[in-house]
Every structure is written in structure tokens, then in C-alpha cells.
Structure 1
Amino acid sequence: MQSMYFTEEHHLFRESFRNFLQKEVVPHIEKWEASGTIERFIWEKFGEMGYFGLATAETDGGMGLDLFYTAILLEELQKINSGGFAAAIWAHVYLAMTHLSKNGNDFQRKAYLTPSVKGEKIGCLGVTEPFGGSDVAGMRTTAIKKGDTYIINGSKTFITNGVYGDYIILAAKTDPSAGNKGISIFIVDLNSQGVSSSKLNKLGWRASDTAELAFDNVIVPAVNLMGSEGKGFGFIMEAFAMERLIMGVNAHARAEYALEYALQYMSERETFGKTINQYQALRHRFVDLHADMDMCKQYNYSVVYKMDKGEYVVREASIAKLKSTAMADKVVYECLQFLGGYGYIEDYPMARLLRDSRLGPIGGGTSEILREIIAKIIIDKKEYRVSK
């Protein structure tokens, strides 16, 4: 298949990764969905295959490949019908590891990034707080310097991998009086004394562990400060573009999977002597959904291309998430309807897809917040670039 974005090497990688998922992951999905625990062995297998290091520099144990390999990884993870498993993987690689790759020093990359590439350590990102939500500047977690350590107090919530992970990339205020200029980023071992976690009971993403974390006088070595004090807000804003683009790609892939499954079902389901994919009302509705999905998909690919070239894509990535997640919710809802009563049965994939998809317009910045961010960019001419 000809593509302006994907080479033959990309297609071979997709086929290889798809086979890996079917062999090593799919047989365990139902168990992980039921238990809410992803067994440790699969992280090591991902590491052995190099899947955690696609976008990581070779000097840190990765492969240094272009972002379309990342897009393929994300798309295929959405097509095994476990948004929770997919979230655990991409939160580790593209939330925690991205900060280590871009902002970690040699010591931090060696201690945390390289083991993360190998699947020996599992990371998570801690920005959102119980009272803060999308208001990053309003966070209350503090990190007060004491000698060659920092003492951290506060809480974080909605942290994917927060229960079973090994470390967290944590945002905290080193200068509470300085607003967003007083935010810094730390690497905190989750087995540190004073760290406690509570597992949240979610509507969807049930295979992944999502935590509320408390930090009670947690002592963190000063060498675990990323960059310098006060740089945290810029680091967070820079990483948001990647997170939002990831969720946009996830959404179009999720919708594509729903449409593929629905079409297969419609081609086999017969009523009144013909398969239901022959009814004009259903055919035309299906076409509208496919068109919406494909428009988001092609837009998202264009943003991946721009980001891979190093362009500033905060506006585009925010639009990708805003429109793609809304589209995916609509597509999955309608595809469940195509299945009729079977769409409402847990033995079929649509019920789980519907629950998992609903997180799209919420996580990584709600649609309401994204609209205001985009408005500030296109109307107020505001830029969210990181100050050097």
C-alpha cells in the first residue's frame, strides 16, 4: 500500500508488532482486565523486543526511530481491545520516559531511562492533583530543599502506573510564592518511605492501575531534580503536545477498530433474508462514520510528521485530541448500535470499547480546557513555547 508517511520498513514493523501482540499480549488481556494488574513479565518482553526504545536515542539504549514507528505502536495497541493495557504502555514510554529523554542529565538517564527502555523499571507521570485538575499552576505539592535533599509533601491523582510502577516524574513547587515559575520536576522512587497509593476504581481502562498518591515528608536526593528549580512548568507544557497527539492517534485507531469489527459483524448478520450491511440506512451511516474517522486519521498523521520534523505543534496537537476523541466516542457509540443487543453484551468488544473511549475527552486535558488553550493560541496569539 502506497503512503506518503509510511515506508516498507514501517509496514514490516507493523506486521511484526501486530504478531507480537497476538502471541504475547492478547491471551492475557481478559485476566488483566479482570484483575486490574498487568503482570510484570510483559514489560520485560516489550523491553527485549525494543518496543520501549523506539523514540529513545541509541546512546540511552533505544533505537532513535522516527515518530511514525510510535504512531504504529499506538494504533496497534488500540486494536487489541484493552484501553487500559495500551494506556499503561504509552504512559510509561511517552509520559515518563519522554521527560527523562529530553530533560534528564547523564546520571538520571543511566539510572532510570536505560532500565525503562529494557522494561526493568516502570515509570509514571505525576502532575494532576485532587484539587487541581488541569490547573497546573495551582498545584499544592511542595518540595522544600534541606541540605542535599528535598522534602516532598502533597498528593497526585489519576496516575496511570501509580500503584505498580517503580518511579514517578513528579511536579512540585519549590517556590510556592512564584506561581508557575516555582514548579520543578523530580524523579521519585515509589518505594520511598512516605509514599502511599490508593487504587482507583474506574469506569474503563480496567487493566491499568490508576492511583491516587500521597507524599508525606518524602526525602528525595537533590540529584533527582530535573534541570534546575523553576523549570518544571515549561517541561510540562512541552510534553503536553506529545501527550495530546498520542491521545488523538489512539482515538482514530480506536474508531477504526470499532468500524472494522462492526463491518465484519454486519456482513455476517442476516435479517429478512439479507445481511444488514445491505440496508441503505446502515450503509450510509457507516460511511459518514468512516469519513469522520479518516479525516481525523489523516490530520493526525500530518501532525506526527510536523512533530517529527521538530516543528511547534501545540495548536495542532490540541486540535488532534479535541476532534479525534469526540469522533471516537461517536463512532464507538454508533458501532455498538450496529450490533443491536449484542453490542450491550460483555462477550463482544463494543461495551468495553465504549467505556474505554469515554476517557479520551477527559484525560490529558479535558475538551473544555483544550478549547480555551486553542482559543488563546488562535485568538489571543499566545504561545506555549518553553523558555530557554
Structure 2
Amino acid sequence: MADNSPNPVPFSEPPYLRGLPSPYITDAHREFQKRCRRFMWENLIQHAMEWEKLGTVPEHVFHTFCKYNMLLPNMPAPLPVDWLKRLGIDDILGVKVEDWDYIYTGIYCDELNRSGLSGPGGSLNAGFAFGIPPIVKFGSKELQERFLPDLLTGRKRACIAITEPEAGSDVANIVTTATKSADGKYYIINGTKKWITNGIWSDYATMAVRTGGPGPSGLSVLVVPLKNHPGVTMRRLKVAGQVAGGTTYIELDDVKVPVSNLIGKEGQGMRLIMTNFNHERLVIAIGVTRAARVALSAAFSYCLKREAFGKTLMDQPVVRHRLAKAGAELETMSAWVEQILYQLCHLSKEEGDLQLGGLTAMAKAKSAMVLNECAQVAVLLFGGNGFTQAGQGELVEAILRDVPGARIPGGSEDVLLDLSVRQLVKIYQAQEKKLSQSSKI
């Protein structure tokens, strides 16, 4: 839809877009949503399926988004206001950069993924969501001066490069090495990175490397040049879903990087990576929840008109049962994500990481489970059409292929579920210790 009329099909929109009251959404948020939806339709959503089938979003789309500051919303809130002001960036579609909060982030990510396909949006936002934030949060002043002017304006592109062929969710055991040169001026990097979203188009990678011994204490993070840099070889990987996302395999053979490209200090890599994961997982959860809406509402609409055994599918109790079970999961997930976004607006970064880190990991894992349920239901109800990469069911067929891309990146499902409970146990133990100490006073 090009206009802002709410989609009347059940499960197609979050409650506030159906005209229902919301404790989180202000008039300013609603006005931004209208402008954002119009921009996304004109520049991305109406072409999303075409570009996903082609496997690449045209390069001019990235530049258009940057021209209107429409990739900055992928960064954690609050935005780096001082840097943006220095670069002459004062607003995002009318919202002052200093007024940006996580509710705006949620609206933006929802609209970015309105097509239901993660590949087209993922081809644009990975650098801003995952690659640039560690430089903003932990980079030295000198490092920021060298890289942020080009990265924040989109003159150069970035990605995040953590995963390796033998180390995905097990970040602590990556093996790509960065050894200092004899003169101490460079790191010499050797290793491989795999499944790197946007890597093929990126000028730089925010890369996890091993500068020390085994385990998490030996990890560091560097800004590593990619395109046309000596020793760097990149090729695209064929993946089942998210085809337009530019998934890349990177080989690093004696790649020289100045020691001044270190983000933070040596040995701090695990902490830097984990801190950024909270935002990454939240952004994924928002987009995944929108994809689940697209799949389930498409199935709902189809069931109202498709006839079988002398009546519509919607007249079949078993069909209504499937829609109800998936819809309950979807609306529950949507409400949880909104709650986390609101809480982040009212907590400091440190308190948000502490209180919501485990829950955000759990939410990301759960959102992918919900997408899996909604996509499976949609494909089943579309029948043969849902098994065909063209025609009425092509969208739900593509969304189902995207499901592993929701369940694995950003920490695979089982790892995140375990992590979330371990984090909750830590919080409980810390609180219990405080209570026992206070009772002794």
C-alpha cells in the first residue's frame, strides 16, 4: 500500500495503527510513522520482491536512504547527536536527532521490513545497526575523526565481521589472528570470516580478531579495510533466504591494518561485541515480528476467498484454529517488543544492558519462533500456492525461506535461550547478595 490507510486484515498491523490506544505512541511518533511509511514505499517496499529475486538492491537505493538520513535510525538510541550536528544532520524526516528515542527506532524498523522480506532491508542497514555503533561507543577520538564522517553520511559503507566457519554463536573461540608487526605499527591479520551481511559492498569491517591467548580475554576489535585492500578476498555466498542481503565470505591473508584502528583496548573485544549484541538482537526481533505479521495476514486474507470442499477455508474450524494459535503468539510477541522499546527509553544504557540484556536475547529467540509458526501456518494454508516461487503464494514461500536467517544470526536460538536464563540468574544472585548484606546491617 502506498498510502497510510491501515490494513484492515486481522494481524496485519500493530494495535496503534489499527486506531487503538497506546501508552507508548505519541502524536509525534504517529506523524513520523506516516512519513516513514511513505518514504519506504517509494524507495524500497514496492520493489522489494523484485530486488529479492534479482538478489541485489540497486546501489542508488543506499545513496537515497543516506541522502535523507534514513539509515541513521538503525543505530542505538539516543543517536550520536554531537557527531550528527557536526556533519550538518539535524533531523530524520522531521524528527530532531536529539529527540530520537527507541519508540521511533521500533516504528522505523517495522516500516523497513513491511515487505515481509528481510533481504532488501538487510542489504542497507547492517553497517549502521551493527558496524558503526562500536566505533561511536568505544572508538578513540582519533579513530572517530578518521572514519565517522564518511560512515555516518554513507560516503563509505561498513559491516560487522564476527562469525567464522568454525565459530558463530561461540564468539569466544574465533581464531582469526591479528599479530603486531616487528615495528609495532601494524596488525597483520590472517583468517576467514563467513556469513557476513553486506560484506561484499563494504569499504570497512568492524572485525573481531584474536590479539591474545585463547578464550574471551584474547579478543579485540579492529576497523579493517575491505574493498581493494591488499590481502582481502571476498565472494558472495548463496543462501536459502535473505538473498538480497549480500552474505559474504571474507579471506584475510597477511592483511596490514594500522594499530590505531583498534577499537577500545586490546582484550576488550568480547565486552564490546556483547554490548552491541543487545541492540542487534532487538532490531532483528522488530523486523522479524513484522515479517510474521505479513505472513499471517496474507494467509488470513487468502482464507477468506479460497474455497475448498464447497466453502471458504475460513469456514473450516481447523483453519480458524491454526490462525488463532499463530495470531495469539504474534500479538504477544508484538506487545513484548513494544514494552522493551519503552523500557529502553527510560533506562540508562548501563541499566538497560543489565536489566534487559537477557530478556532481549530471549525476545530475539522467541520472535524467530513466532515467525516460524506464522510462516509455516501461512504456507500450509496457501497449499500448493505456498510451495511455489511465483503467483499468489510467492511472498509466504519467500518468508518461510527467511526463517533460518531469523533463528541463527545474532546468536542462534538455543544459545540465546540459554544465555537469557544465565543472565537472569546473575541478576537474581546479585540482588540476593545485596539483600543478605543489608539484612546483616
Q: TM-score range with shorter-chain normalisation? A: over 0.9
Q: How does 1:7-156 map to 2 (within 5 A)?
A: 7-54=26-73, 55=77, 56-61=79-84, 63-64=97-98, 65-146=100-181, 147-156=184-193
Residue identity opposite 1:299 in structure 2: W
| Deviation sequence 1:134-156 (CA, Å, 0-9, x none) | 22111111112233221111111
Aligned counterparts of 2:171 and 2:423: Cα–Cα separation in 1: 18
Aligned counterparts of 2:50 and 2:268: Cα–Cα separation in 1: 41
Alignment TM-score, normalising by the size of structure 2: 0.82
Deviation for aligned residue 1:381: 5.6
Residue identity opposite 2:217 in structure 1: K
Specify the alignment match of 1:386 in structure 2. Answer: none
Specify the alignment match of 2:382 in structure 1. Answer: 339
Specify the alignment match of 1:184 in structure 2. Answer: 220
Aligned counterparts of 1:360 and 1:382: Cα–Cα separation in 2: 29
Q: Does 1:375 pair with 2:421?
A: yes
Q: Does 1:296 pair with 2:315?
A: no
Contact 2:159–2:199, Cα closer than 8 Å, also in 1: yes
CA RMSD of aligned residues (A): 2.1
Q: Indicate the SS of the match to 1:372.
A: helix
Aligned counterparts of 1:281 and 1:295: Cα–Cα separation in 2: 22
Percent identity between matched residues is 29
Deviation for aligned residue 1:6: 1.6
Q: Indicate the SS of the match to 1:112.
A: helix
Q: Does 1:307 pair with 2:344?
A: yes
Specify the alignment match of 2:363 in structure 1. Answer: 320
Aligned counterparts of 1:240 and 1:199: Cα–Cα separation in 2: 24
Contact 2:163–2:171, Cα closer than 8 Å, also in 1: yes
Contact 1:137–1:179, Cα closer than 8 Å, also in 2: yes
Residue identity opposite 1:325 in structure 2: A
Aligned counterparts of 1:293 and 1:355: Cα–Cα separation in 2: 19
Specify the alignment match of 1:236 in structure 2. Answer: 273
Residue identity opposite 1:361 in structure 2: R
Assess, with a 3 A threshold, how the Cα gap between structure 1 residues 31 and 267 changes in structure 2: closer, same or farther: closer
Deviates more, 1:355-364 or 1:62-71: 62-71
Assess, with a 3 A threshold, how the Cα gap between structure 1 residues 28 and 111 changes in structure 2: closer, same or farther: farther
Residue identity opposite 2:23 in structure 1: M
Deviation for aligned residue 1:77: 2.2
Q: Does 1:161 pair with 2:198?
A: yes
Deviation for aligned residue 1:217: 0.9
Number of aligned pairs?
A: 383
Alignment TM-score, normalising by the size of structure 1: 0.92
Assess, with a 3 A threshold, how the Cα gap between structure 1 residues 38 and 96 changes in structure 2: closer, same or farther: same
Q: Indicate the SS of the match to 1:153.
A: strand
Q: How does 1:209-248 map to 2 (within 5 A)?
A: 209-248=246-285
Deviates more, 1:194-203 or 1:367-376: 367-376
Contact 2:116–2:292, Cα closer than 8 Å, also in 1: no
Q: Does 1:251 pair with 2:288?
A: yes
Aligned counterparts of 1:12 and 1:194: Cα–Cα separation in 2: 48
| Deviation sequence 1:288-340 (CA, Å, 0-9, x none) | 21111011111112122223323221111011012111111011110112222
Contact 2:224–2:261, Cα closer than 8 Å, also in 1: yes
Q: Indicate the SS of the match to 2:116.
A: coil
Q: Indicate the SS of the match to 1:339.
A: helix
Structure with higher Rg: it is 2
Contact 1:78–1:254, Cα closer than 8 Å, also in 2: yes
| Deviation sequence 1:9-52 (CA, Å, 0-9, x none) | 22222222221222112344344323322222111111122112
Aligned counterparts of 1:199 and 1:276: Cα–Cα separation in 2: 42
Q: How does 1:188-203 map to 2 (within 5 A)?
A: 188-191=224-227, 192-203=229-240
Deviation for aligned residue 1:260: 1.8
**Which consecutive residues of structure 2, in runs of 5 or more, have no partner in the other structure?**
1-18, 90-96, 430-441
Specify the alignment match of 1:363 in structure 2. Answer: 409
Deviation for aligned residue 1:189: 1.4
Aligned counterparts of 1:8 and 1:111: Cα–Cα separation in 2: 39
Q: Does 1:352 pair with 2:398?
A: yes
Q: Indicate the SS of the match to 1:363.
A: coil
Q: Does 1:330 pair with 2:349?
A: no
